[in-house]
Amino acid sequence: MNMELNFIKCGDYYIPDIKLKNPNIRLGKWGRMRKEYLRLANPVLFSDMVLNETLYEHCAEIEETAKKRMEIIVPQLAKAYGVTEQLKAENQIEWVRQMNACVAQAEEAIKGELIYC
């Protein structure tokens, strides 16, 4: 493998001019959680993914999957617990409480399925 490495002079030092292949990947809540978990729980895999430039792609994929799972799980939980628009019209505080419980339960499930595995 022939790899050319360029350097940039920064003060008295030369530092490698390293650029990411895809620098525009933005991570949300789930992607950042996965990244931090890998950094703490599996530093060897984390370092390998950083060096191979696959970490952010992996975390972005986890982010997208987690968002889709939330969109599926929360309405199912709301339906199962009887959180309806009628409840929202009658008692908004109770509706918010129950919806927050559904969101928290869905987040815990996603953490177990996608983040901490």
Position 1 confidence tier, pLDDT thresholds 50, 70, 90? low
How far, CA to CA in Å, does 109 sit from each of 57, 77, 114? 22, 12, 9
Domain ranges, ordered by start, for the chain: 7-115
Classify 16 as helix, strand or coil: strand
pLDDT digits (tens, 9 = 90+) for 6-65: 889 999 998 888 777 777 788 999 999 999 999 999 999 999 998 888 999 999 999 999
Residues 80-109 have pLDDT tens digits of: 999 999 999 999 999 999 999 999 999 999
Q: Which helix (H) or strand (E) holds 95?
A: helix 92-110
What are the respective helix, strand and coil percentages of the chain, to the nearest 5? 65, 5, 25
Q: Is 109 exposed, middle or buried (0-12, 13-18, 19+ CB in 10 A)?
A: middle
This prediction's pTM = 0.79
